[in-house]
């Protein structure tokens, strides 16, 4: 026996130095499953892209993130210690407050307490030798996400055996899967069934139709003043006389003919269905320029998205002059001698750009702020509102996103009157120009904007802060829209922010959205049920097959564009399962059955993570009584465009984790 022990000790003595422990640095791991409440996690930088810095102490190595942030790692007992230095980044302001947690198999191993700006960095060094799953969490410390720029500096795991750190991420890997069948080759007319225009204002509408080309178009009963280009399907002109005109649209090709009723409403209300299009922010942010905008328009045509009703090409922030900029492309005189706003050199010829877009049958949007500067510090409209409205109209813009930003420094208090004022001023200015400009209010939901956005002429208003491509952000925003439905309708829509699908990244470098395929189906289904404006935030010129496929489902898009304009209500919300239902003009209901999982209701730190093997599917039952109907009803799967049969009293289906089954329910007479 003694001899045996001696042999073992001797062997250990010889071999121990050769069993190398390995360091797995957090910034070298696959971070695609790290969630972040705003923007995307940054490697070796703060969330805003600056040097990592906590109370003046600088770090070269680490991850800059934003509450609420989660990251779950599969350690499987193969790591010894986790160490890091954490704190709120110096770039945050006083509003920021976060709390860091390290959890091992649901137990809290380390907790920072609330940390604010200027608090000295805290050192973490914990034993994780028995841990199977390690959870890294940053919460908002209970007071909301504002300025929660949280840094995990010098963060690393000491591994007890050699493992490939890339395999540590406990992420749900699922491959994109295509649900939308290809569009038929016979003509099919898609898109809005109603369209509003003001008397004597320029009219532009492109008949959205799929099917084999060449295709010819016709329209019966077009009001006087409008004409149709039979080759392109583009209708232009001006109608002087108010009224509702019932038009028949016709599309023909070698395989057949499609007809569709279309109502042109000439009056005071525009934007009768939620706008559908593209916006530059989620992909390019400050890296936007005229060529990228043109490329988006080209792609809208080339991919065929225009044939499904996608229309707007919207420039977001960063087209104006940036006072104090050292970059020759963005510096210069903010306004000309007459006080008219100038574009920067990245947009050398705005009228040529708007013309380019209009000639393709598309529309174009622009962005500004009621404050002196936009959110990215470019010149904005303060005290030049009328001139700017005129400039936007003269340049040929069809849409204005008007973002609060630096108006925060002008606003004297937080009363309703103060919130409304700048938006009313711009609305009055827009009313004086002879062009229809869709008016998009962006002020992140302050003062319950949904209650008064319509009164100040808003056609849509953002109900939330900025979205990003994480489940926490998208689902947090989307599923929190319950209760807003009574404020939405034709001409005035709730806006839960833009779509985070495809290649996004807030420019110049982009990455594929971090939403799983099921999460993306949830995103689009929910936004359509919510009658949300649908603004694609990706680089359209590099759109992948999967993204293009789900943005081309006409039955799903028809839910968003339904002429009744009734936003869905949540009719069921239990145990991580939700059902949302929306009344449709044809008497049917569009219904989304969502399996969100329970983590969105997290109260304890451990609840932010899915520790157990995730159930891939859950059964959800929709009852007729929840829908306010009785007896038999037909069910059609809208993503698959397939009838599922006739059901009595209830319908049960299996829904993937973080996914959706979107159906149309038609009561049988």
DSSP 433-491: SSS--EEEEESTTTT-GGGTTTTTT-SEEE-SS---SSHHHHHHHHTT-TT-GGG-BTT
Which CB, 281 or 382, lies closer to ligand GAL? 281
Q: How far apart are CA 447 and CA 444, in angstroms?
A: 9
Q: Is 562 a catalytic residue?
A: no
Which CB, 365 or 565, lies closer to ligand GAL? 365
Which CB, 446 or 482, lies closer to ligand GAL? 446
The dihedral through the CA atoms of 592, 547, 364, 252 has a sign that is: negative
Q: How far apart are CA 91 and CA 552, in angstroms?
A: 41
Footprint on this chain of ligand GAL (rule: CB under 6 A): 281, 316-317, 374-376, 403, 405, 442, 466
CB of 391 to ligand GAL, least distance (A): 19
C-beta separation of 608 from 602 below 8 A:
yes
126-136 residues labelled b (16+ CB within 10 A) or e (exposed): eebeebebbbb
DSSP code of 253? Answer: E
C-beta separation of 564 from 631 below 8 A:
no
CB of 538 to ligand GAL, least distance (A): 15
CB of 507 to ligand GAL, least distance (A): 12
Residue 608 has which token pair?
Answer: 């932010």
CB of 51 to ligand GAL, least distance (A): 22
Which CB, 156 or 322, lies closer to ligand GAL? 322
* Cα angle, residue 318 at apex, residues 313 and 322 outer, rounded to 5°: 155
C-beta separation of 316 from 281 below 8 A:
yes
CB of 403 to ligand GAL, least distance (A): 5
Q: Which of 133, 5, 13 is nearest to 76 (CA)?
A: 133
Kindly name the residue from 317, 466, 495, 497 that is annotated as catalytic: 466
Name the one residue in this structure whose structure tokens are 């907790």.
Answer: 111
Q: Which of 108, 102, 97 is nearest to 141 (CA)?
A: 97
Q: Is 403 a catalytic residue?
A: yes
Which CB, 468 or 520, lies closer to ligand GAL? 468
Kindly name the residue from 140, 403, 495, 497 that is annotated as catalytic: 403
Which CB, 497 or 562, lies closer to ligand GAL? 497
Q: Which of 148, 143, 102 is nearest to 125 (CA)?
A: 102
Q: How far apart are CA 592 and CA 46, in angstroms?
A: 38
Which CB, 456 or 477, lies closer to ligand GAL? 477
C-beta separation of 482 from 526 below 8 A:
no
Residues whose CB is less than 8 angstroms from the CB of residue 360 and which lie 6 or more positions away in sequence, other chains included: 297, 298, 300, 301, 306
Which CB, 278 or 594, lies closer to ligand GAL? 278
Q: Known catalytic residues?
A: 403, 466
């Amino acid at each position: 026996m003694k001899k045996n022990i001696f042999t073992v000790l001797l062997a250990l003595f010889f071999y121990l130095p050769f069993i190398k422990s390995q360091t797995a640095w957090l910034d070298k791991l696959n971070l695609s499953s790290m969630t972040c409440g705003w923007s995307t996690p940054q490697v070796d930088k703060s969330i805003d892209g600056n040097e990592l810095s906590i109370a003046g102490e600088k770090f070269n190595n680490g991850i800059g993130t934003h509450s609420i942030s989660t990251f779950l790692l599969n350690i499987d007992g193969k790591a010894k210690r986790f160490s890091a230095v954490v704190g709120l980044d110096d770039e945050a302001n006083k509003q920021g407050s976060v709390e860091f947690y390290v959890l091992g198999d649901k137990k809290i191993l380390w907790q920072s307490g609330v940390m604010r700006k200027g608090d000295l960095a805290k050192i973490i060094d914990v034993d994780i030798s028995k841990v199977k799953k390690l959870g890294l969490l940053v919460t908002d410390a209970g007071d909301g996400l504002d300025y929660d720029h949280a840094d995990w500096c010098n963060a690393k795991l000491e591994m007890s055996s050699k493992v490939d750190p890339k395999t540590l991420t406990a992420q749900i890997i699922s491959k994109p899967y295509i649900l939308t069948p290809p569009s038929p080759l016979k003509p099919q007319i898609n898109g809005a069934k109603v369209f509003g225009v003001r008397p004597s204002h320029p009219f532009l509408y492109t008949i959205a139709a799929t099917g084999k080309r060449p295709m010819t178009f016709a329209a019966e009963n077009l009001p006087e003043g409008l004409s149709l280009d039979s080759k392109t399907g583009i209708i232009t002109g001006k109608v002087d006389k108010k009224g509702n005109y019932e038009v028949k649209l016709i599309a023909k090709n070698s395989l057949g003919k499609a007809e569709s009723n279309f109502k042109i409403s000439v009056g005071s209300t525009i934007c009768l269905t939620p706008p559908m299009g593209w916006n530059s922010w989620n992909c390019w942010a400050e890296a936007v320029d005229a060529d990228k905008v043109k490329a988006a328009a080209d792609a809208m045509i080339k991919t065929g998205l225009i044939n499904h009703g996608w229309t707007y090409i919207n420039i977001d922030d960063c087209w104006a002059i940036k006072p104090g900029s050292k970059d020759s492309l963005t510096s210069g005189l903010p306004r000309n001698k007459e006080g008219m706003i100038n574009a920067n050199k990245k947009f050398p010829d705005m009228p040529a750009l708007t013309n380019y877009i209009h000639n393709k049958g598309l529309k174009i949007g622009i962005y500004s702020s009621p404050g002196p500067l936009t959110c990215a510090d470019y010149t904005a409209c303060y005290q030049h509102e009328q001139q700017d409205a005129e400039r936007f109209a003269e340049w040929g813009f069809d849409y204005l996103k008007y973002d609060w930003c630096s108006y925060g420094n002008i606003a004297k208090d937080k009363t309703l009157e103060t919130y409304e004022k700048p938006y009313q001023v711009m609305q009055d200015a827009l009313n004086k120009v002879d062009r229809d400009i869709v008016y998009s209010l962006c002020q992140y939901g302050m003062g319950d904007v949904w209650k008064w956005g319509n009164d100040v002429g808003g056609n849509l208003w953002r109900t939330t802060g900025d979205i990003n491509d994480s489940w926490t952000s998208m689902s947090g925003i989307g599923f929190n829209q319950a209760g807003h439905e009574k404020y939405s309708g034709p001409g005035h829509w709730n806006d839960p922010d833009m779509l985070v699908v495809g290649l996004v990244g807030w420019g110049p470098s982009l990455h594929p959205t971090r939403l799983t395929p099921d999460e993306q189906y949830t995103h689009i289904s929910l936004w359509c049920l919510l009658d949300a404006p649908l603004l694609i935030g990706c680089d359209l010129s590099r759109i992948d097959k999967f993204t293009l496929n789900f943005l081309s489902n006409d039955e799903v898009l028809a839910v968003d564009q339904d002429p009744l304009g009734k936003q869905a209500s949540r009719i069921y919300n239990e145990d991580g399962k939700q059902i949302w239902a929306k009344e449709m003009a044809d008497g049917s209901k569009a219904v989304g059955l969502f399996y969100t999982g329970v983590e969105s209701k997290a109260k304890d730190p451990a609840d932010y993570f899915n520790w157990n093997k995730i159930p891939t599917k859950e059964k959800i039952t929709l009852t007729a009584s929840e829908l306010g109907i009785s007896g038999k009803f037909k069910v059609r799967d809208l993503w698959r465009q397939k009838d599922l049969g006739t059901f009595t009293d209830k319908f049960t289906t299996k829904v993937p984790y973080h996914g959706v089954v979107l159906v149309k329910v038609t009561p049988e007479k």
